[in-house]
A and B are shown apart, each in its own frame.
Chain A
Amino acid sequence: MIPILGLAVGVVLGLILDPSVPLWLQPYLPIAVVAALDAVFGGVRARFDGIFDAKVFVVSFVSNVVVAALIVFLGDQLGVGAQLSTAVVVVLGIRIFGNAAAIRRHLFRA
């Protein structure tokens, strides 16, 4: 309940405040969002599996975001930022799909 509430409040806040993203953050924000989404899907899946743990969720959430941003940052430094961010999005997308499939199996038994 708390996470859904937080999500809704965050979306509303973002829409109302409408802050401009600082320039240095702009390449990393979408990647960070996708990574966080991956962590959230993983958390929901763990919840359905009955192995959800708050600490693990928090740590995986933060580390997911940080690592994803770091990979893209390194890629930018090496001159392959676009490719690496594509790679990160692809990998995270695959994981989100896998987790979503597991959640679906739990929800619909199919």
Chain B
Amino acid sequence: MTTPSSGDPGDGTPDEVRPAQESVRPEPATADDGPAAPAPRRKQRGDLLAAALIGVLALLLGFAFAVQVRTTDDGQALAGAREEDLVRILDDLTGREDRLRQQIAEQRSALAQLGSSDSQAEAALAEARERSQALGILNGTLPAQGPGLEMTIRDPMDRVPAAVLLDAIQELRGAGAETMQIDDVRVGVSTAVTGSPGDLALDGQPVEAPYVFQVIGSPQDMATAMNIPNGVVDKVRLRDGTVDLVQSDLVVVDALRQLDMPQYAEPADGD
């Protein structure tokens, strides 16, 4: 409301002001003639007085200028502002407040999104870590401990063949063994038992009797699985060997195995 109406006086006044501007300039000329007339002594006193007056006026101007600048800085200026100015200022502030509130709402929702995605990422990371630990234990790349069974197969006559050891491994797995090692060789999913009786090898590493199994899993289940008729214990006895089963609360499987890197298989796309 102020802008269009303030333009009118701005356009209108220059006509009225130009005469005033011209009247300022001619005045010195006429005034120059005026003071020239009086006696030199009075002129000197007048000059002094004028200089003093000019000094005072300049001082006043500087003072008012500084005070006004300070007042504008303070925001005290609002106290003396006109009603329409105040209304305009209020409108401005209201609009600004609306915009800021909108911004706050946007930022809040962005923050909420970031927070939720952050917690999602954290959960996913924790899950991935757990999964990698589980896989590491299954694959034999991480040491493991827990309740389980210590089984010692003695083979004084060197008659226990690879098939019996393999049988033992399969039976233990079937009874819930989670991971195991035999004579400091970790058993993984692809472990092979090779060689002739008395000269066996696990994954190419030679093992010698007595074969010491350290297995993590349910001790009772695994002991039962070993002792079933025609099971591992019976088969070893047939070949003049003995089997010792010790159930333990804490079995440590600390032999490690290299991770099998698949040579041909790749992860399939999609879930």
Q: How far is the CA of A78 from the CA of B11 in the complex (A)?
A: 20
B interface residue count range (under 10 / 10 to 19 / 20 to 34 / 35 or more): 35 or more
Q: Do the beta carbons of B82 and A86 come within 8 Å of each other?
A: no
The answer to whether B64 touches A53, judged by C-beta atoms less than 8 angstroms apart, is no
Q: Is the CB–CB distance between B51 and A10 below 8 Å?
A: no
Contact at B13–A26, with CB atoms within 8 Å? no
Query: Known: A23-B80, A83-B9, A87-B6. Is A15-B54 also a contact (CB below 8 A)?
Result: no
Residue with the greatest number of chain A CB neighbours at <10 A, chosen from B34, B51, B60: B60
Give the number of residue pairs across the A-B interface with Cβ within 8 Å. Answer: 167
**A29, A54, A94 — most chain B CB neighbours (10 Å):** A54
What number of A residues sit within 8 Å (CB to CB) of B?
Answer: 56
| Interface set, chain B 1-29, CB cutoff 8 A to A | 2, 5-6, 8-10, 12-14, 17, 21, 24-25, 27-29
Lowest 4 CB-CB distances: which A-B pairs, in order? A26-B80, A10-B62, A14-B66, A54-B50
- Residues of chain A touching chain B, judged by Cβ–Cβ distance below 8 Å, are 2-15, 18-21, 23, 25-27, 29-30, 32-33, 36-37, 40, 42, 46, 49, 51-58, 60-62, 76, 80-84, 86-87, 90-91, 94-95, 98
A-B contact list, 19 entries, CB within 8 Å: A5-B58, A6-B59, A10-B65, A11-B62, A12-B62, A13-B62, A15-B66, A20-B76, A21-B71, A27-B81, A33-B61, A42-B24, A58-B53, A60-B27, A82-B2, A86-B2, A87-B13, A90-B9, A94-B17
